[in-house]
């Protein structure tokens, strides 16, 4: 082999290795970007989950208070009617 042929082959090998290294770096960047993306999505989901959970608990508590406000006067009225009925019946 001539000296020029060896140098030419070595340059080709170096170019191929550089391409391989660039592709690997790109793959690492892509994986990192994907990881960061899903990390952000997870944080966003967590925040939305906490917000909706608080909202749901608040709505359940409001509903319970509404039901209690409806049922409580009925119980008081029936007790008062029994008391009044007993006095009127005497």
Question: What residue segments make up the domains of the chain, in order of their start?
Answer: 1-90
41-71 burial, b for 16+ CB within 10 Å, e for fewer? eeeeeeeeeeeeeeeeeeeeeeeeeeeeeee
24 vs 81, residue with greater confidence? 24
Lowest mean pLDDT among 10-14, 42-46, 67-71, 73-77: 73-77
Answer yes or no: pTM beyond 0.85: no
Alpha carbons within 13 angstroms on the beta-carbon side of residue 60 total 6
How far from chain centre, in Å, is Cα 47? 6
Please state the rounded mean pLDDT for residues 1-6.
81
Q: pLDDT-based confidence at 90, cuts 50/70/90?
A: very low
């Amino acid at each position: 082999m001539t000296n020029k042929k060896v140098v030419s082959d070595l340059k080709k090998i170096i170019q191929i290795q550089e391409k391989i290294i660039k592709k690997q770096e790109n793959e690492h960047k892509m994986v990192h970007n994907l990881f960061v993306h899903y990390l952000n999505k997870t944080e966003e989901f967590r925040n939305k989950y906490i917000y909706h959970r608080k909202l749901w608990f608040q709505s359940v508590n409001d509903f319970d208070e509404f039901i209690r406000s409806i049922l409580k006067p009925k119980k008081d009225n029936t007790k008062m009617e029994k008391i009044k009925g007993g006095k009127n019946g005497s």
